[in-house]
Amino acid sequence: MECLSETPDGVVINVRAQPRSSRAGIDSLIGDAVKVRIRCAPVDGKANKELVETLADEFGLAKSSVAFKSGETSKQKRILLRGISAAQARAVLSAALNMKP
């Protein structure tokens, strides 16, 4: 998956956030990014906070293990998932997207 890159700290995932959605969670692949739906509007960092919570929940990580590398004020974001390998991240994404690993 082009949306993932492994680093010594963990995995960096390219995310396209969709705020003001009716539900939260991983939705689909869009080019080289994972589309993640979030319910909050992008006001006062609420959408970013919900995005961190959603990704932490989906990948089974603590919220402190999810950090922004870039894009905090953009829909296109690069997020570091600490303590997870690229293979583990691919398995989670495959399951969330109903694809075979």
Could you tell me the residue ranges of all domains in the chain? 4-96
The answer, yes or no, to whether residue 35 has pLDDT greater than 60, is yes
The answer, yes or no, to whether residue 6 has pLDDT greater than 90, is yes
**Residue 38 and residue 21 in contact, taking contact as beta carbons nearer than 8 Å:** yes
Report pLDDT for 49.
96
The answer, yes or no, to whether residue 56 has pLDDT greater than 90, is yes
- d(Cα 32, Cα 22) in Å, to the nearest integer? 24
Query: How confident is the prediction for the chain on average, in pLDDT?
Result: 93
pTM, two decimals, is 0.90
Which run of H or of E encompasses 60? none
Fold of 4-96: Conserved Hypothetical Protein Mth637; Chain: A; (3.30.1200)
In 33-87, DSSP assigns E strands to 33-37, 66-70, 76-82
Alpha-carbon Rg for the chain in angstroms: 12
